[in-house]
């Protein structure tokens, strides 16, 4: 199971939000590039970067900074936040980003548009499914969509999406533990690889998630628990990456 450090960028700083709320932020570093290098040196095999300002504004804001991060580290990066058109996807891929995360686009465009994106970019596309109050949230988590989560994920899988990040926004930044039951339900109903996010607070949480690997869980995105040192990345990598 991959342990994936999260680098959320707001105002060019590395921050963590509570429940996706812009006003509830805590700054952990003023140098996201140095933080990315730190996680790489501790053994990370993949970085998760979110342009929070891009998510809120509906278009990328920190592309130049993310490009700099991609040149700073030698490990793969997945990026989300305001990615809603082909030009943005191509630009990130040109920077050397391996995966782009799309959320609002997948919930607001026709099946034809989604299939076209999947056909052109295939494994470079990750679906970002952010759930708030048991409903999917889009537009920087400000708008909730009344559509069954499990059914929509199955629909995306049928259209060719091979990898999905499931984030429980109510738990994100709360260190309250991941939504194991929901993650398990999603895994049991589709064949996409799932990456869990939101609420991961301890090694015990990671051990619980590890039990879902046989169902298709690929990894866990960890943010505040790493920054608060509730989880030590080097230790977690040795335990969980080596067992893959």
Whether the Cβ atoms of residue 157 and residue 187 lie closer than 8 Å to each other: no
Instruction: Tell me which residue of 121, 195, 122 sits closest to 153, measured CA to CA.
Output: 195
Whether the Cβ atoms of residue 20 and residue 167 lie closer than 8 Å to each other: no
Whether the Cβ atoms of residue 199 and residue 176 lie closer than 8 Å to each other: yes
Cα separation, 109 vs 19, in Å, equals 26
Cα separation, 3 vs 45, in Å, equals 8
Coil vs helix vs strand at 77: strand
Whether the Cβ atoms of residue 108 and residue 138 lie closer than 8 Å to each other: yes
Active-site positions read: 8, 130
* CB neighbours of residue 27 within 10 Å: 11
Give me the residues paired with residue 99 across strands: 78
- Residue 191, both tokens: 């064949």
- Residue 4, both tokens: 């994936």
Instruction: Tell me which residue of 241, 238, 203, 239 sits closest to 222, measured CA to CA.
Output: 203
Cα separation, 38 vs 44, in Å, equals 9
């Amino acid at each position: 199971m991959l342990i994936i450090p999260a680098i959320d960028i707001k105002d060019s700083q590395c921050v963590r939000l509570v429940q996706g709320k812009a006003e509830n932020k805590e700054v952990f570093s003023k140098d996201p590039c140095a933080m990315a290098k730190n996680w790489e040196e501790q053994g990370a095999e993949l970085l998760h970067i979110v342009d929070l300002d891009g998510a809120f504004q509906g278009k990328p804001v920190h592309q130049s900074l993310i490009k700099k991060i991609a040149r700073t580290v030698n490990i793969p990066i997945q990026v989300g936040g305001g990615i809603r058109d082909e030009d943005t996807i191509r630009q990130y891929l040109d920077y050397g980003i391996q995966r782009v995360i799309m959320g609002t686009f997948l919930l607001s465009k026709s099946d034809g548009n989604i299939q076209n994106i999947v056909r052109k970019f295939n494994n470079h596309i990750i679906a970002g499914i952010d759930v708030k109050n048991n409903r999917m949230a889009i537009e920087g988590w400000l708008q909730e969509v009344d559509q069954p989560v499990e059914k929509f994920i199955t629909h995306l899988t049928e259209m060719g999406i091979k990898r999905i990040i499931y984030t429980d926004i109510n738990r994100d930044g709360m260190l309250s533990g991941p939504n194991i039951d929901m993650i398990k339900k999603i895994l049991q109903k589709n064949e996409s690889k799932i990456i869990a996010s939101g609420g991961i607070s301890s090694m015990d949480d990671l051990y619980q998630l590890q039990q879902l690997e046989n169902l298709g869980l690929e990894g866990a995105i960890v943010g505040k628990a790493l920054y608060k040192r509730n989880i030590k990345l080097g230790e977690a990598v040795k335990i969980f990456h080596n067992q893959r």
